[in-house]
Amino acid sequence: MRLGDLFTLIQFRNLRTRLTVVYMGLFGLALMLAAIAVVTAVTNSAQRMVRNEMTAAGAVYSQLWSARSSQLQQGAGVLAQDYGFREAVATNDEATVRSALDNLRARQGVDGALILGVDGYATSTGLALDDAALDRLFTGLDSGGIESGVLAIDGQAFQVVAAPVNAPVLIGWVVFAERLDAAQMRNLEQLSSIPLSAAVALDQPTGDRRDGPVTIPTADGPSMRLDRPLPSFDTAAPAQLVLTYPMKRAMRPYEALFWWLAAIGVAGLALLMGGTWILSRDLTRPITALDEAVHRLQQGDYVEAPVTSADEIGRLAASFNAMVGDLRDREAKLTHMALHDQETGLPNRLSLERQAGATADGWVVMFGVDRFEVVRNAIGYDSMARLLALLGGRLSALADGAPMARIGAGALGLVVVAADEAEAVETATRLAEAAQEPLKINGAPVDIALTAGVAGRGVSPPLTKVPMATPAAIFPSSPNS
C-alpha cells in the first residue's frame, strides 16, 4: 500500500492533526532510515574488523602450527638418527627404547612419545593409543602422504609429528603427540586482539569447509566463524581449527552510540511534534476562522473573516470578505426593493404591514389624495410620483418621523401610537389638516386635498372623514376600518 493510500484511508477531522501526523510520519520514516543506515554501517564495520582479526589469528596459528611441527620433527629426527636408538629398535630392546622416548618426551614437553614399527607394533610412553587411533596413524605414515597432522585419540585431538627410523631401511617411526586441549586453545586466543574462541573440530565433513569468515546463527545470536583446515591422519574427516566470535560482543562498544541515537531520535520526534503542532495551529487558525465565517454566512450572519497574512490564505479571506460584502449589499438592495415603492422611494404596503404587526398599541392612519387621477393626468406620472414623495415626507415630519408608506396608487399610510380610538382619530385629523398645504412641483404650486381614515383596535366601521369620505376598504383584513 502506498503512503498516499494510507493517508486516504485515515480520515482526519482537523487539518492541524493531519499536518502533525504527516510531518511526524515523514520525519519518523527519515529517522528510521537514518538509524538503519547507521546501524548497518556500524555492523558492517564491526563484522569487517572481526573478520580481519580472525583471519590474522588463523594465519598466526598456522605459523605456530608449522613452527611447532618443525620443532618436534627436528627432535624426533635427532632421536631417529641416533645409532644406539636405532640399534635398540632393531634388536627390540624395549627398555632402552622406552628410556630414550621418556628422556626426549620430557625435553620436548610433549604428552606422549612412541616408536611405531613397520609391522604395526608400537612402544609408547606417556600416552596409550587405542587400536583405532594406532591404525589411522600407521595408515597415514605407511602411505607416505603425511608425517605431521591431527590425530584423534580417545576422542581428543592431538598434534602428532613423526620422523622415520632407517637402519638403513625403514624400520619404523619416532612419533611425538601433543594434546590440543583447552589450555592450548587459550594460549592461541590470547594471541588475538579480540576475545575469540578457538577449538579443533574433528570428523568435520569436507563439504562443511568455508573459505573465509562467515556469520552463522547460534544460541547466543549471530557469530562470526572461521575454519582453518589442519593436516589430519584421518583423510575421510579432516580436522579444522574453528575460531568463533559472537557479534553481540563485537557490537557491545557501540551500544552507547545506539542508545544516544535512540534518545536523539525520540527527542527530535518530540520537538518536531511540538513545533509542528504550533506551526499547524498558526497555519490553520485563519482557516478555522474562515470556516466559522462560512457557517455563520450559511445562517444568514454576514460576518467577515480576519485577514492575518498576505499569503494565499490571507488573499482567500480577503476574497471571502469581498463576497460577503457583495452579498450583504445585494440582500440589502433586494430587501429595500421589496419594502419600498419604486416610483416614490417610500416604504410600501408590506413595510407598513410589518410595522403595524410589530406595534402592539399601534393604529394605522391612511391618507387618500382626492381627485388623484385628475391631478396625475394634469401634472404627469413623474410629477405625481414626486408629489407623493414630498407629501409622504411632510406627513412623516408632522408625525415626529414616523415612516410613511405608499399603500396604493394615491394612498399613503403610517402607524401611530394612541391609547384609544379617539386619540387615533384626533391624530389623523391633525395630520391631514396640516399636510394640505400646496406643494411645489417643477416650480409650480399644486393644491392637494386629503381624506384620512383610521384602522386598528376599537375603530368603528365608518371611518372619520377629513373633510370627505375615506375610500372603501384600503385594509380589508383589518378588524375595523
Tens digit of each residue's pLDDT (9 = 90 or more) over 143-172? 877 888 888 888 888 989 999 988 788 888
pLDDT tens per residue, range 216-258: 888 878 888 888 888 888 877 788 888 888 888 878 888 888 8
pLDDT tens per residue, range 19-59: 777 877 888 888 888 888 888 888 888 888 888 888 888 88
Give the whole-angstrom CA distance, residue 24 versus residue 13: 17
Region 449-461 average pLDDT: 69
271 secondary structure, DSSP code: H
For each of the domains in the chain, give its residue range(s) and CATH number, in order of start.
Answer: 15-250 (no CATH), 256-336 (no CATH), 349-456 (3.30.70.270)
B/e letters for 387-417, b = 16+ CB within 10 Å, e = fewer, are bbbbbbebbbebbeebbbbbbeebbbbbbbe
Q: Is the peptide bond before 213 cis (omega within 30 degrees of 0)?
A: no
User: Which one has a higher pLDDT value, 411 or 4?
Assistant: 411
Chain centroid, CA 303 distance in Å: 38
Asked if pLDDT for residue 456 goes beyond 80, the answer is no
- Residue 461's pLDDT band (boundaries 50, 70, 90)? very low
Give the whole-angstrom CA distance, residue 390 versus residue 397: 11
Least confident of 8-12, 230-234, 375-379: 8-12
Give the whole-angstrom CA distance, residue 471 versus residue 419: 25
Asked if pLDDT for residue 319 goes beyond 50, the answer is yes
Cell for 10?
485515515
- Residue-level pLDDT at 205: 58
Residues in CB range of 85: below 8 A, 6 or more apart? 79, 96, 97, 100, 165
pTM over 0.85: no
Region 268-297 average pLDDT: 80
- Residue-level pLDDT at 436: 86
- Residue-level pLDDT at 233: 84
